[in-house]
Amino acid sequence: MKLTVLVDNNTLIDRYFLGEPGLCFLIEEAGKKVLFDTGYSDVFMKNAHKMKIKLTDIDAVVLSHGHIDHTGGLPHLMTMFTEEALENRTVSKPDLICHEQTLSTKVTREGVDIGSPAKEEKLEMHFNLRLTKEPVWITENLVYLGEIPRVNNFENQTPIGKDDFVTDDSALAWRSKDGIVIITGCSHSGICNIMERAKAVCGDNRVRDIIGGFHLLHPSKEQLEGTVECLLKERPEKVYAGHCTDLKSKIALAKHLNIKEVGVGLILRYEEE
């Protein structure tokens, strides 16, 4: 399995890519190309072009949840598909996998729209929609986790916007011989809840690595301490905490865990089974 960071808040030093407050990963696994989230704009496409990565042959787009910093790139991707088709070039019609509520309207307490700019009717023209609460196996070892049960008392305690507990928030997990690699977008459902879901779906209690956003932005003392304690029990080899993980939280995590740098241009490679 190969994971390439196309969008993150940060870029790696001396790698001249663009960053933005969003997230997009390209995952290549068992002959499949999977785009996980699309960032906030067309930055993921610009970075992919500079990396010489082709996006017209992707097999699936997986959305971690419906907020615009993860879905904002969808209209740009659809425009690219349209332009390629008009030029009589081959374009795939990928699966689009996400929770049933991902494409629903999402607003802040002030009434600002922060949901996906691309809606179901338009998306159906470019994608095979798979909207589900259930896990979806994309390859033999790569799985979309579906709706995440909220099983602890310290995560997801405060709604986003108008009573929105982001029930659509999900993640990916990849099974390896050495344990599970968890790939998350924002972890609104809680990184510890996600780990429990991944272990249950994959039938493996070993968490090997984690990469993505932890939604630790000015977290409460209870949430931060609970997250650290939970991760200490799991003892992942590496934790790539990016996107929506603030400095204070990274420092707290780094006191106990192997916290690694995340930025656009990062490539992670894992051996196949």
- In whole angstroms, what is the distance from residue 85 CA to residue 271 CA? 35
pLDDT at 196: 98
pLDDT tier at 101, thresholds 50, 70, 90: very high
Q: Domains of the chain, with CATH numbers?
A: 2-269 (3.60.15.10)
Per-residue pLDDT of 26-54, as tens digits, reads 999 999 999 999 999 999 999 999 999 99
Confidence of residue 157 (pLDDT cuts 50, 70, 90): confident
Name the percent of the chain lying above pLDDT 90.
93
pTM (2 decimals)? 0.97
| CA–CA dist 207, 234 (Å, integer) | 6
Q: Could you tell me which residue, 234 or 157, shows the higher pLDDT? A: 234
d(CA 34, CA 42): 17
Burial code (b: 16+ CB inside 10 Å, e: under 16) for 127-144 equals beeebeeebbebbebbbb
Tell me how far apart the alpha carbons of residues 173 and 145 are, in angstroms, rounded to a whole number. 7
Look at residue 117 and tell me whether its pLDDT is greater than 70: yes
Give the tens place of pLDDT for each residue, 102-116. Answer: 999 999 988 899 999
Minimum mean pLDDT among 13-27, 132-146, 158-172: which range? 158-172
pLDDT tens digits for range 177-228:
999 999 999 999 999 999 999 999 999 999 999 999 999 999 999 999 999 9
Q: Looking at residue 272, what is its pLDDT?
A: 64
Q: Which residue has the tokens 């089974």?
A: 273
pLDDT in tens, 9-33: 999 999 899 999 999 999 999 999 9
* pLDDT above 90 (res 162): no
